[in-house]
Amino acid sequence: MPRTVSDGGEDFDGDVSSQTGSHRYTDSNSTHHHHHHGYKVGFPPAKGLLAEFADGVKETFFADDPLREYKDQPRSKKLWLSLVHLFPVLDWARSYSFGKFKGDFVAGLTIASLCIPQDIGYAKLAFLPAHVGLYSSFVPPLVYAMMGSSRDIAIGPVAVVSLLLGTLLQEEIDPVKNPYEYSRLAFTATFFAGITQAMLGFFRLGFIIEFLSHAAIVGFMAGAAVTIALQQLKGFLGIKKFTKKSDIISVMESVWGNWNYQTILIGASFLAFLLTTKYIAKKNKKLFWVSAIAPLISVVISTFCVFITHADKQGVAIVKDIKQGINPPSFHLIYWSGPYLAKGFRIGVVAGMVALTEAIAIGRTFAAMKDYQIDGNKEMVALGTMNIVGSMTSCYVATGSFSRSAVNYMAGCKTAVSNVVMAIVVMLTLLLITPLFKYTPNAILASIIINAVVSLVDYETAYLIWKVDKMDFVALLGAFFGVVFASVEYGLLIAVAISLGKILLQVTRPRTALLGNLPRTTIYRNVEQYPEATKVPGVMIVRVDSAIYFTNSNYVKERILRWLRDEEEQQQEQKLSKTEFLIVELSPVTDIDTSGIHALEELLKALEKRKIQLILANPGPAVIQKLRSAKFTDLIGDDKIFLSVSDAVKKFAPKSALNV
């Protein structure tokens, strides 16, 4: 093999040979230096199997280093820190002041006025009695206030989860014929939703919900909003017979029933009122309270009108009696055995995951606005515990609600105490004023829910996603159409499948790039990005832009050989000098496995047949260590591994290196 020494008189090889093997191994500094001539690729100190495994586990499950504050503390302090970790209320309650309470009190009253009408409607969406919706805004927020770390999130039943529960539960039990068994299954599902959430947090598996990409969530929420709005047509148009299915086609078929015009009049006029207040609040941020209390005003006025005009006698459907009194215990109602245990578990896991995704997304959004940190795993434990306690006190799955959290934030909440204020107002409502809701028309609840879910359709973000990343947009559309045309669970499945497919595509087909030299520099860059970059005669430089694993090793090898083939065809056409050296730039390659090394060995053989030398530039610590362990460094030769592309070019193509 021809060896050239650079004409600059600087004997590169001699310089390197003076660094003995042992010296190079101990001198870890050699890897940190700048590109000085004479530096060779350093090897990191070897780690034992256990140390490597421990590092991997730590990065996966404890990326936020939760035990940092426990270091060098006395036992009593450690115990206190553990308690604070479980109950953040112990931390912030110490600095709580009357000034903060004023903000929380106003915010709590505002979200209570919004949540009471919504809860009654959402319970209907889940085919549960209205009082169960109110129960779920009483106990869970109290538990969350003690354990949660978000200051802005408002806890209670939400539209998407209610719809999901309603669809999944009624596949198992008919809520009209067997309301008792149905609510038992609902509490069982709630229990397992809580268990799922708490376990994910406890075992620090928060990264699982990261599999739902932002785009998929936007699509899923929009689809759910359309589905929920369509479901509300029953109450809105006063239709007696309505489909149980949630897909758009069955809903549209059952819409052409006999409408009740008084109901439509009530629904439409109040929906117009609600949307107007929403528009006013959007235009002037200071008037946010107008849209927040509008639902309660609508309920009061419409209930009064129905009561006076006896419209319920003319076929306007009303809420009828809401049970008075606070949550009875329901521990004995949960199915602990029998066929419904497994069904409750399955439904609970799905509902728990959806509820989690929504709550964490909301928590992060508002934490970013106010510039504080929330701990995802802590949130999961809090949400899980809250639903476990809820399932034993006649509640169904509660989570963070986007519309109420936004109102809470605007109303100037300072801490989770606003949730406590809301819970107390709901409790007083349950104890004192539920009989007054008797004549509330269902059309009002329908228009309140339609008004609430309209904002879940985020078309601005959808347009942005379309502009930035078409593949993300496909995930968004998949989730959207899945929910609208099939069901909520199919929409979720499609969203997850597309998100996973996108990851697989990126893993199995990593990008590779041909590099050229930027004139008058020693910098080598992608020739597509920098058309002025020139190719070095006789040398081909390829960069691989991802780790090389069994999923893509074969593709990487084939792709490099394809670059070579294309290059050879060009050389024959233009009578250029033949390629003698192939430099593979490895800086983006974070890791390599045995299949990857095997592919490099095959590449080496293929190149030897063509009389082309393989040279590696800038391998990272993990890569060089594995190449050494697999004896690939001996196979290729230590003199073929360089710190940078320019060092390699200087050594093997000295003529062109001098023109710089």
User: Could you read off the pLDDT of 154-178 as tens digits, one per residue?
Assistant: 999 999 999 999 999 999 999 999 9
Residue-wise pLDDT tens digits, 67-103: 888 888 899 999 999 999 889 999 999 999 999 999 9
Q: Angle, to 10 degrees, between the axis of helix 159-172 and the axis of helix 488-508? A: 110
Q: Is the confidence at residue 237, as pLDDT, over 80?
A: yes
Same domain, 491 and 518: no
Which residue is associated with the tokens 């709630």? 190
Q: Which two tokens stand for residue 230?
A: 């369509």
CB contact at 8 A, 326 and 430: yes
Q: What is the pLDDT at residue 328?
A: 96
Q: 650, 659, 437, 656: which is closest to 4 by C-alpha?
A: 650
**Residue 50 domain flag:** no
Name 539's bridge partners: 581
- Are both 253 and 388 inside the same structural domain? yes
Q: Which of the four pLDDT bands, split at 50, 70 and 90, describes residue 31?
A: very low
Residue 395: partners with Cβ closer than 8 Å, 6 or more residues away: 132, 135, 136, 138, 139, 140, 190, 327, 387
Cα 658 from Cα 660, distance rounded (Å): 5
* Residue 264 counted as domain residue: yes
**Token pair in block for residue 248:** 């758009």
pLDDT of residue 19: 38
Q: β-strand 581-585 against 613-617: which pairing, if any?
A: parallel
Position 489 confidence tier, pLDDT thresholds 50, 70, 90: confident
Between helix 98-125 and helix 442-454 the angle, nearest 10°, is 120
Query: How far is residue 70 from each of residues 57, 74, 196, measured CA to CA in Å?
Result: 19, 9, 27
Task: Inform me whether the pLDDT recorded for 52 exceeds 70.
Answer: yes
Give the angle subtended at the CA of 171 by the CAs of 169 and 175, to the nearest 5°. 60
Say how many domains are in the chain.
Answer: 2
- pLDDT for 528: 95
Asked whether residue 358 is assigned to any structural domain, the reply reads yes
Q: In the prediction, which pLDDT does 24 show?
A: 38
Contacts of residue 62, Cβ cutoff 8 Å, sequence gap at least 6: 204
Residues 484 and 529 in one domain: no
What's the start-to-end Cα distance of the chain, in Å?
A: 26
Report the pLDDT averaged over residues 452-464. Answer: 94
Q: Give φ, ψ of 319 to 5 degrees.
A: -65, -30
Using a pLDDT cut of 70, give the percent of the chain over it. Answer: 93
Span 249-262, mean pLDDT? Answer: 86
Provide the CATH number for the domain around residue 524: 3.30.750.24
- Is 614 strand, coil or helix? strand
pLDDT in tens, 546-587: 999 999 999 999 999 999 999 999 989 988 888 999 999 999
Beta strands 613-617; 524-526: pairing state: unpaired
* Per-residue pLDDT at 642: 94
Among 500, 531, 549, the domain-final residue is 500
* Residue 561 domain boundaries: 512-652
Copy the structure tokens of residue 542.
């390829």
In this prediction, residue 545 carries a pLDDT of 94
What is the SS3 assignment for 441? strand
The enclosing H or E element of 222 equals helix 214-231
Is residue 49 domain-resident?
no
Q: Is 157 helix (H, G, I), strand (E, B) or coil?
A: coil
Of the pLDDT bands very low, low, confident and very high (cuts 50, 70, 90), residue 28 is very low
Q: What is the pLDDT of residue 10?
A: 37
pLDDT over 70 at 18, yes or no: no
Cβ pair 646, 524 in contact under 8 A: yes
Q: Which residue has the tokens 């609902």?
A: 186
Identify whether residues 111 and 239 lie together within a single domain: yes
Amino acid in the structure at residue 527: V
- Domain identity same for 358 and 421: yes
Residue 363 in domain:
yes
- Assess contact for 507 and 247: CB atoms under 8 A: no
Does residue 613 sit in helix, strand or coil?
Answer: strand
Query: What three-state secondary structure class fits 43?
Result: coil
Whether residue 447 is found in the same domain as residue 303: yes
What the block records as the tokens of 356 is 């989690």
Mean pLDDT, the chain, rounded, equals 89
* pLDDT recorded at residue 37: 60
Instruction: Please enumerate in sequence order all residues whose Cβ is within 8 A of that of 94, keeping only pairs 6 or more positions apart, or say none.
Output: none
Strands 539-544 and 581-585, sheet pairing: parallel
Domain-located, residue 412: yes
More confident residue, 425 or 498: 425
Is residue 45 included in any domain, yes or no? no
Please compute the mean of the pLDDT values over residues 118-138 and round it to a whole number: 96
Q: Is 526 left (phi over 0), alpha (psi -120 to 50) or beta?
A: beta
- Domain boundary (451, 470, 500) is at 500
Contacts of 198 (CB under 8 A, 6+ apart): 380, 381, 383, 384, 385, 388
CA neighbor of 144 nearest in space, from 408, 417, 545, 347: 417
Q: How many CA atoms lie within 13 A of 235 on its CB side?
A: 24
Cα-based distances in Å from 581 to 153, 536, 578: 60, 10, 9
* Residue 44 within a domain: no
CB atoms < 10 A from the CB of 97, how many? Answer: 8
Q: What is the pLDDT of residue 307?
A: 93
Whether 149 and 182 map to the same domain: the answer is yes
Claim to verify: residue 581 and residue 631 sit in the same structural domain: yes
Task: Out of 453, 470, 500, pick the residue that ends a domain.
Answer: 500
Mean pLDDT for 642-647 is: 93
409 and 263 in one domain? Answer: yes
Name the residue among 502, 197, 227 with its Cα closest to residue 358: 197
pLDDT in tens, 375-417: 888 999 999 999 999 999 999 999 999 999 999 999 999 999 9
Question: Do 487 and 552 sit in the same domain of this protein?
Answer: no
Same domain, 455 and 592: no
**Whether residues 570 and 610 fall in one domain:** yes
